[in-house]
Amino acid sequence: EVKTDFKVCWSIYAGWMPWGYLQDSGIMKKWADKYGINVEVVQLNDYIESINQYTAGEFDGCAMTNMDALSIPAAGGVDTSVLIAGDYSNGNDGLILKEGGDLASVKGQNVNLVELSVSHYFLARALETVGLSEKDITVVNTSDADMVSVYGTPEITAVATWNPMLSEILANQKGELVFDSSKIPGEIIDAMMINTETLKDNPALGKALVGAWFETLSLMASDTPEAMAALESMAAASGTDLAGYKAQLAATALFHTPEKLLEFTTDPKLKQTMKFVAEFLYDHGILGEGAPSPEFVGVEFPDGSVYGDKNNVKLRFDNSFVEMAAKGAL
């Protein structure tokens, strides 16, 4: 269906703060006007709610991780395209043991984390690296917003969480980071997802979003007063100060140029990552009880290859718009 008014949503996370800035600063409007459409970039505070709203059809696009995209909209039958795989977590997720030690010493402990989130996936991957499995620990579901405050209680010995909670805990409380996502780089991808059908019918939306995104990122990368002002504003919006926000960005591998992004999404390692993710989701029953195998939902890669069921492709890495940006064709 061709239309002119679009809404995409995002929630607060270091790698997504540019979405807020490009809406506030008018960059988005500039690009939308260029293609004769209206795009509203809406901030939601609750990450899961934002995905749910997108899945239910309230938004045309939403910022989420590769894992959640597979488990919620894609598994829910909403054909979704990865428009901008903006960054991957490069230390933004971590496992902290209060008493320190090495990763293997987590065995037998309770680990507090947001169950079934990327933290859970991250933990599973971390355990694999030392030959442990989830059976060797006990997972306690804990809300992300309260992770920092409950860490102070004596019951908690280990947490797996992400920034800003991660740095908040490390900065102020006893504990040692024993594993972080920089050791599994590129596996936790934070992307802007768009409804495939909407994107197909309205390429202008993809063009406007990609154009606005890279303009903002190049602004951030520049060493100008405007860049500082933009970063200040993003810091304020995420509830911290400039230093705090920069620290978060340091653990976020943002792709500042279309080229870098393309490099990442065309890397064959991506297929491997998505396989891991699908298997993890299947093991935890998140793909739906009707899912006969991890390959139940098909994932299409930029080269046209598909992981999983070719007849049920619901998640697509779509590089066409970023390629336009790389060619300066926007």
Partner 1 sequence: MKLINRKPSRRLTIFLGLLPFAALLATYLIASDMRLAVNPSDKLLPSFQTMADTMSRMAFEPDKRNGDYLLWTDTAASLYRLFAGLAISAVLALVIGLAMGVLPVARAFFAQFTAAFSLIPPITVLPILFITLGLGEAAKIGLIIVGTTPAMIRTLAQSALDIPRELVIKAETLGASSWQITTRLYLPHILPNLVVALRLGLVPAWIFLISAEAIASTEGLGYRIFLVRRYMAMDLILPYVAWITLLAFVLDRLLLILSKRAFSWNHLEGDSL
Q: How far is CA 145 from CA 164, 166, 214, 252, 305, in A?
A: 10, 11, 30, 20, 38
User: Does the footprint of partner 1 cover residue 306 (CB under 8 A)?
Assistant: no
User: Does the footprint of partner 1 cover residue 117 (CB under 8 A)?
Assistant: yes
Q: Are 16 and 3 in contact (CB under 8 A)?
A: no
The stretch near partner 1 (CB under 8 A) out of 92-100, 145-153, 199-207, 249-257 is 145-153
Q: Which of 107, 129, 112, 134 is nearest to 183 (CA)?
A: 129
Q: Are 295 and 308 in contact (CB under 8 A)?
A: yes
Q: Which of 72, 160, 193, 220 binds partner 1 (CB under 8 A)?
A: 72
304: left (phi over 0), alpha (psi -120 to 50) or beta: left
The stretch near partner 1 (CB under 8 A) out of 142-150, 251-259, 264-272, 322-330 is 142-150
User: Does the footprint of partner 1 cover residue 108 (CB under 8 A)?
Assistant: no
Q: Are 228 and 238 in contact (CB under 8 A)?
A: no
Question: Shortest approach of partner 1 to residue 1 CB, angstroms?
Answer: 12
The residue written with tokens 């030690």 in the block is 101
d(C-alpha 14, C-alpha 87), whole Å: 10
Q: Which of 65, 142, 181, 265 binds partner 1 (CB under 8 A)?
A: 142
User: Does the footprint of partner 1 cover residue 145 (CB under 8 A)?
Assistant: yes
Cross-strand bridge partners of residue 161: 94
Question: Shortest approach of partner 1 to residue 179 CB, angstroms?
Answer: 21
Q: Which of 122, 235, 134 is nearest to 184 (CA)?
A: 122
User: Does the footprint of partner 1 cover residue 53 (CB under 8 A)?
Assistant: yes
Question: Shortest approach of partner 1 to residue 132 CB, angstroms?
Answer: 16
Q: Which of 36, 131, 133, 153 binds partner 1 (CB under 8 A)?
A: 153
Nearer to partner 1, 164 or 206 (CB): 164
d(C-alpha 258, C-alpha 13), whole Å: 21
For strand 5-11 and strand 38-44, is the pairing parallel, antiparallel, or unpaired? Answer: parallel
Residues 6+ apart with CB under 8 A from 289: none
User: Does the footprint of partner 1 cover residue 39 (CB under 8 A)?
Assistant: no
d(C-alpha 266, C-alpha 60), whole Å: 25
User: Does the footprint of partner 1 cover residue 128 (CB under 8 A)?
Assistant: no
Nearer to partner 1, 70 or 83 (CB): 70
User: Does the footprint of partner 1 cover residue 265 (CB under 8 A)?
Assistant: no
The residue written with tokens 């891991």 in the block is 276
Q: Are 40 and 23 in contact (CB under 8 A)?
A: yes
User: Does the footprint of partner 1 cover residue 140 (CB under 8 A)?
Assistant: yes
Question: Shortest approach of partner 1 to residue 139 CB, angstroms?
Answer: 8
User: Does the footprint of partner 1 cover residue 115 (CB under 8 A)?
Assistant: yes
Residues 6+ apart with CB under 8 A from 224: none
Q: Which of 26, 100, 152, 268 binds partner 1 (CB under 8 A)?
A: 152
The residue written with tokens 């990442």 in the block is 264
The footprint of partner 1 on residues 159-178 (CB under 8 A) is 164-165, 168, 172
The footprint of partner 1 on residues 286-305 (CB under 8 A) is 286, 288-289
Q: Which of 108, 222, 236, 259 binds partner 1 (CB under 8 A)?
A: 236
Nearer to partner 1, 145 or 221 (CB): 145
User: Does the footprint of partner 1 cover residue 1 (CB under 8 A)?
Assistant: no
User: Does the footprint of partner 1 cover residue 273 (CB under 8 A)?
Assistant: no
